Every structure is written in structure tokens, then in C-alpha cells.
């Protein structure tokens, strides 16, 4: 949405946004602005934050087809953990860095999923600018049990591209062992 508002005409190939050099530059600027806006708002609410970059490493997904779009290969969880241990909530963007130092755009839902797989949090909360998931008639779905409804949702004609990816990325971390055993504690008594 922000890219469209900035005058970047979206181009998609197989449901994935093509990110050329111009789009990447605009995205980087917009992500920084949104990151700072979020940090300012959280600071106003008394929440200590830290903007982090360099958290995601990635390879080009397919440089010929999607140009500067990445597939995450590594999450620098140490930077996130140190930020949290120091009392700060880390604020990230869905930009990754390639081996050769190039910035790559990665899907935010995929980045959130990779982050969850790396950190294995006790709980995962997904927020969207639309305020939820909507069915084919434009009605907000009030609740979903992915264990029971995943196959049904994936078979729906309205479940395509970004919606399909979002549901898959939400389901995968939810299946992690860490998310089903809230009573597990480490040697210091912290939940994991």
C-alpha cells in the first residue's frame, strides 16, 4: 500500500512483487519512515525500543525474475536477544542483506515466520493493516482454528497469493514445539 501511495506501480510475477532498483529505493525509504514513526509512537507510550537492521541474511530468490527479492537464509537472533535483554523492544523491517552486501526485499509475512522459527517464542501475535483476514465476500473472519480449518481455507478460491502465503506463514510457526508447551522453563526459570 505504501509503495502504491508513493507512486510505484506494483508488478507481480507468480504472486510475488518484482522489486527493481527504483522500487527497492522507495521501499527502503518508506520502511525507514514507518519504522521511525512506530518507534516514536511506542516511545510516547513509554515503551523502550531499538531499531535493528542486519537481522536477516538472504540469497536472491531469482534475480532474473524478481530482481532484488530475497529468500531468507539466516536470522541474526543474537542482535534481537541482546536488545531484549537490555530492556528494548526491537523494531525491524523486512529488508535483508545478501552475501555481497546488497539490500533485498523480503515478504514481511515470511520474515515474521523466519523470525518466529529462529526465536521460538512462547506466543506469536500477527497484526495486519487490514485488521484481519477476509473471506471471498469481504467479511472479516472472526476466528480461525488452523489445525482444523487450514485445508479448507487453502481450497477457497479467494485464498490466493498474499492471503495464501500469510495463512501458511502463520500456521508453520504455530506448529513449533515451543508454542505448545507454555510451562517449559530454562535453568534460570525463564519460559522458552
pLDDT of residue 82: 96
pTM of the predicted model over 0.85: no
What H or E segment, with its residue span, contains residue 57? strand 56-60
Predicted confidence pLDDT, tens digits, the chain (192 residues): 667 777 778 888 877 888 999 899 998 999 999 999 999 999 999 999 999 999 999 999 999 999 999 999 999 999 999 999 999 999 999 999 999 999 999 988 889 889 988 998 887 777 777 778 888 888 888 888 888 888 898 899 888 777 877 788 777 765 555 444 343 434 444 433
C-beta of residue 57 within 8 angstroms of C-beta of residue 97: yes
What is the model's pLDDT at position 85?
96
Q: Is 56 helix (H, G, I), strand (E, B) or coil?
A: strand
Secondary structure percentages of the chain, helix, strand, coil, to 5: 40, 20, 40
Q: What are phi and psi of 17, to 5 degrees?
A: -70, 125
Domains and CATH numbers, the chain: 1-119 (3.40.1160.10), 126-182 (no CATH)
Tally of CA atoms within 13 A in the half-sphere of 45 that contains its CB: 9
> β-strands 95-97, 103-105: how paired?
antiparallel
Q: Rounded to 5 degrees, what are φ and ψ at 181?
A: -130, 70
Amino acid at each position: 500500500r505504501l509503495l502504491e501511495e508513493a507512486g510505484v506501480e506494483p508488478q507481480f510475477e507468480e504472486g510475488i512483487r518484482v522489486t527493481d532498483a527504483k522500487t527497492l529505493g522507495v521501499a527502503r525509504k518508506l520502511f525507514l519512515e514507518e519504522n521511525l514513526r512506530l518507534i516514536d509512537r511506542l516511545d510516547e507510550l513509554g515503551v523502550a525500543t531499538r531499531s535493528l537492521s542486519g537481522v536477516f541474511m538472504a540469497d536472491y530468490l531469482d534475480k532474473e525474475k524478481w530482481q532484488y527479492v530475497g529468500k531468507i537464509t539466516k536470522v541474526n537472533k543474537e542482535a534481537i536477544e541482546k536488545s531484549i535483554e537490555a530492556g528494548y523492544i526491537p523494531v525491524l523491517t523486512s529488508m535483508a542483506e545478501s552475501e555481497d552486501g546488497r539490500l533485498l526485499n523480503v515478504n514481511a509475512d515470511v520474515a515474521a515466520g523466519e523470525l518466529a522459527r529462529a526465536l521460538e517464542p512462547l506466543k506469536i501475535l500477527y497484526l495486519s493493516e487490514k485488521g484481519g483476514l477476509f473471506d471471498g465476500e469481504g467479511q472479516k473472519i472472526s476466528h480461525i482454528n488452523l489445525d482444523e480449518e487450514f485445508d479448507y481455507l487453502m481450497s477457497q478460491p479467494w485464498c490466493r497469493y498474499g492471503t495464501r502465503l500469510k495463512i501458511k506463514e502463520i500456521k508453520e510457526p504455530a506448529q513449533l514445539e515451543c508454542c505448545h508447551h507454555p510451562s517449559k522453563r530454562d535453568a534460570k526459570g525463564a519460559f522458552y
